[in-house]
């Protein structure tokens, strides 16, 4: 029987590793569709930002209560799963609580900490489900935000429910295991007197007092399999879910923008033309070749701005896969608050959906797959783009430093420079800035006439 369990476990583990590897390669290939950009500069500053924002959850604590709950579920779920190492070894070797006899004092402390955190995760997941489906927090509701369709809400419910089931399985598995030790049943008796009751699961032991030894062993094995298979299934599911940020959140923050908020990147090719037109020196290398702000030689201009995901930068595509759809960006967006169609969350979700659509095309038509769709117009409309005020509220609000504004600006740049689709009011402003060095249509010499009128009064 033990050998059969070992074989089944190895098959499940191998299948999970194979499938996750396949998905990781596919997602990595999709992210690499984006344009190259150097994000390996200032490693010390990037590491500090990652530790504060991703690991320390700095931005989550703007709302203290929600921040604490999120930290519990984030830290708890990650730390509890450290025990997966022992579970995997037990499954492969056919042992039971492999580490317990060798590191007994430390083992007891670790399991107690795991159980305390597991109970915290369980409680917080229940609260989060209530917030979404009973309290109905506005930023999660479809009637307020059209991107929150049935699937995003179902995805959140699946994840939270799965975590609740995993934590219940973990705690009741420990409880049933303790009862079997107390009764001295089979190999469980080997740890009798070595491993006592655990901090939280001891309160679940009365639930199993009426079980026969056979029934108790069956439950213990069922809970063990449910816990480990649930974790393996969760790991696969995450690669399709918004909860991919569990893995991508850290690199996403590490590679996030370091320049001051509000600083917009100019295209080196356009900068060159402006420098030539104004008679200014063009930045060149020693060999006479031009360089951009990162010291890189600019590629031949293929397109001004972005029309599809291939025109965006690779970090924009990583941002899309890292988005957890929390909606803090949209809640902070003044355009959205005033009823306009722009939702920064939708911008990120649309970008990810477009990447997923391309991935589906790869599966049936190979990596040369192309279709007639594009991110602009088929997913994101001009009305959404034009509503953005570039205020950076969405960028500041994101807990993992995602930058929806960068995508908006690149799509707008394409509409203005490639399609000449700037609104008439924008064209008038551009003309005034070019001719009068101000957005208003009057001569620079008349700029302070208003002051004279004030003095006359």
DSSP state, residue 51: I
In this structure, the answer to whether residues 195 and 306 fall within a common structural domain is: no
Structure tokens of 71?
A: 């930290």
Q: Are 76 and 120 in contact (CB under 8 A)?
A: yes
Burial of 441 per CB tally in 10 Å (0-12, 13-18, 19+): exposed
In this structure, the answer to whether residues 333 and 292 fall within a common structural domain is: yes
Burial of 253 per CB tally in 10 Å (0-12, 13-18, 19+): buried
CA 198 to chain centre: 34
Dump pLDDT digits (tens) for 228-237: 999 999 999 9
Which CATH number covers residue 370? Answer: 1.10.1060
- Domain count of the fold of the chain: 2
* CA pair distance 59, 52, nearest whole angstrom: 9
Instruction: Identify whether 454 is part of a domain.
Output: no
Instruction: Identify whether 432 is part of a domain.
Output: no
- What is the rounded end-to-end Cα distance, in angstroms, of the chain? 99
* CA pair distance 164, 257, nearest whole angstrom: 36
| Mean pLDDT to the nearest integer, 435-440 | 84
Domain with 142, as residue range(s), is: 2-31+63-254
Dump pLDDT digits (tens) for 387-430: 999 999 999 999 999 999 999 999 999 999 899 898 888 889 88
In this structure, the answer to whether residues 239 and 368 fall within a common structural domain is: no
* CA pair distance 172, 318, nearest whole angstrom: 38
Instruction: Identify whether 21 is part of a domain.
Output: yes
In this structure, the answer to whether residues 354 and 220 fall within a common structural domain is: no
Dump pLDDT digits (tens) for 237-262: 999 999 999 899 999 999 999 887 77
pTM: 0.86
CA distances 129 to 123, 138, 140, 223, 350, Å, are 10, 14, 11, 23, 25
In this structure, the answer to whether residues 232 and 281 fall within a common structural domain is: no
In this structure, the answer to whether residues 71 and 130 fall within a common structural domain is: yes
Position 285 pLDDT exceeds 50: no
Instruction: Identify whether 212 is part of a domain.
Output: yes
- Burial letters for 383-417: b for 16+ Cβ neighbours within 10 Å, e otherwise? ebbbbbeeeebbbebbbbbbbbbbbbbbbbbbbbe
* CA pair distance 428, 426, nearest whole angstrom: 5
Instruction: Identify whether 440 is part of a domain.
Output: no
């Amino acid at each position: 029987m033990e050998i059969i369990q070992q074989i089944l476990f190895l098959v499940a583990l191998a299948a999970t590793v194979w499938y996750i590897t396949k998905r990781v390669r596919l997602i990595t290939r999709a992210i690499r569709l984006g344009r190259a950009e150097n994000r390996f500069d200032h490693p010390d500053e990037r590491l500090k930002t990652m530790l504060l924002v991703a690991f320390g959850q700095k931005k989550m604590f703007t709302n203290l209560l929600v921040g604490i709950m999120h930290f519990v579920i984030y830290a708890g779920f990650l730390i509890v799963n450290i025990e997966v190492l022992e579970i995997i070894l037990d499954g492969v070797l056919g042992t039971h609580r492999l580490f317990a006899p060798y590191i007994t004092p430390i083992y007891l402390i670790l399991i107690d900490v795991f159980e305390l955190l597991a109970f915290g995760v369980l409680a917080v997941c229940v609260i989060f489900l209530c917030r979404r489906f009973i309290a109905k927090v506005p930023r999660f509701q479809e009637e307020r935000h059209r991107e929150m369709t049935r699937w995003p809400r179902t995805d959140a419910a699946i994840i939270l429910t799965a975590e609740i089931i995993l934590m219940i399985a973990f705690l009741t598995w420990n409880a049933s295991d303790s009862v079997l030790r107390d009764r001295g049943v089979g190999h469980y008796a080997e740890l009798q007197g070595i491993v006592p009751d655990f901090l939280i699961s001891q309160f679940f032991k009365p639930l199993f007092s009426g079980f026969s030894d056979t029934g108790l062993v069956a439950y213990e094995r069922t809970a063990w399999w449910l816990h480990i298979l649930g974790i393996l299934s969760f790991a696969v599911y995450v690669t399709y879910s918004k909860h991919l940020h569990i893995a991508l959140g850290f690199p996403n923050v590490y590679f996030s923008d370091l320049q001051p908020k509000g600083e917009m990147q100019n295209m080196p090719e356009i900068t060159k033309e402006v420098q030539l037109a104004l008679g200014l020196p063009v930045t060149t290398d020693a060999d006479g070749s031009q360089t951009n702000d990162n010291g890189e030689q600019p590629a031949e201009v293929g397109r001004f701005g972005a029309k599809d995901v291939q025109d965006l930068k690779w970090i924009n595509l990583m941002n899309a896969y890292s988005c957890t759809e929390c909606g803090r960006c949209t809640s902070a967006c003044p355009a959205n608050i005033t009823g306009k169609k722009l939702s920064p969350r939708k911008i990120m979700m649309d970008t990810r959906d477009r990447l997923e659509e391309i991935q589906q095309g790869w599966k049936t038509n190979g990596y040369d797959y192309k279709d007639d769709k594009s991110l602009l117009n088929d997913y994101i409309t001009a009305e959404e783009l034009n509503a953005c005020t570039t205020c950076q509220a969405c960028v500041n609000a994101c807990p993992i430093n995602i930058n929806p504004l960068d995508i908006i600006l690149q799509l707008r740049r394409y509409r203005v420079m490639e399609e000449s689709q700037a609104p008439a009011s924008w064209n008038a402003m551009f003309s005034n800035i070019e001719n009068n060095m101000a957005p208003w249509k009057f001569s620079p010499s008349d700029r302070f006439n208003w002051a004279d009128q004030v003095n006359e009064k």
